[in-house]
C-alpha cells in the first residue's frame, strides 16, 4: 500500500508532513489514525490503525514467559503513540521517538508496503549505502522466486 522514499523536514512548529501520495492512500482507504513506535535499525515504524491491530494480534501470541518476548513487547508497545494528522497531513513525532531514531530536522519517509518508516536522513543514507551492494545477495538468501 505504501511505497517510495520521500525527503521531508520537520517544520518550525515541530511537525512532519506525510507525503501527498501517502495522504491520498490514507484518504482512499479511510485511514485517519496511525500508530508510531520504535522500529528496527533506528527508524520509527508508522502503522495504520488496522495494520497496528494486525501486528498487535501477532505479538499477543508471543509467550510472556520468554525474556526476549517480554523485552520486545515492552519496547514496542511502551514506545507507541497514536496520532491523527491534521487536514494537511501534519503531525508531531513524540520527542522520545525522535531521540530513539536520532531525528532532528531532516526526515526520510519510506513506504514499506504495510507500514511507513521514519528515518533520520543521514541514518537512512548510511543504511542505503551499506545495504545496496548486498541487495542481490540478500534477495538470493531470502527469496525463492520461480
Where is average pLDDT lowest: 37-41, 80-84, 137-141? Answer: 137-141
pLDDT at residue number 38: 97
- Domain formed by 2-142, architecture: 3-Layer(aba) Sandwich (3.40)
Q: What is the mean pLDDT of the chain?
A: 94
pLDDT at 146 over 70: no
Q: Report, as an integer, the average pLDDT of 57-73.
A: 89
pLDDT at 145 over 80: no
Rounded distance, CA 59 to CA 74, Å?
11
Bridge partners, residue 16, by sequence: 91
Where exactly are the structural domains of the chain? Answer: 2-142
Of the CA atoms within 13 Å of residue 73, those in its CB half-sphere come to 15
Q: Report, as an integer, the average pLDDT of 109-134.
A: 95
pLDDT at 137 over 90: no
Radius of gyration (Cα) for the chain, nearest Å?
Answer: 16
Where is average pLDDT lowest: 6-10, 33-37, 59-63? Answer: 59-63
Amino acid at each position: 500500500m505504501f511505497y517510495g522514499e520521500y525527503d521531508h523536514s520537520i517544520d518550525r512548529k515541530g511537525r512532519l508532513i506525510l507525503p501527498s501520495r501517502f495522504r491520498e492512500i490514507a484518504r482512499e482507504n479511510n485511514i485517519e489514525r496511525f500508530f508510531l513506535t520504535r522500529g528496527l535499525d533506528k527508524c520509527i515504524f508508522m502503522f495504520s490503525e488496522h495494520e497496528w491491530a494486525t501486528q498487535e494480534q501477532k505479538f499477543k501470541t508471543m509467550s510472556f514467559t520468554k525474556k526476549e518476548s517480554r523485552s520486545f513487547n515492552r519496547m514496542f508497545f511502551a514506545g507507541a503513540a497514536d496520532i491523527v494528522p491534521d487536514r494537511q497531513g501534519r503531525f508531531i513525532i513524540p520527542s522520545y521517538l525522535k531521540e530513539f531514531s536520532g531525528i532532528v530536522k531532516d526526515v526520510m519517509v519510506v513506504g514499506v508496503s504495510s507500514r511507513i518508516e521514519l528515518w533520520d536522513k543521514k541514518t537512512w543514507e548510511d543504511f542505503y549505502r551499506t545495504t545496496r551492494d548486498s541487495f542481490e545477495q540478500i534477495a538470493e538468501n531470502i527469496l525463492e522466486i520461480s
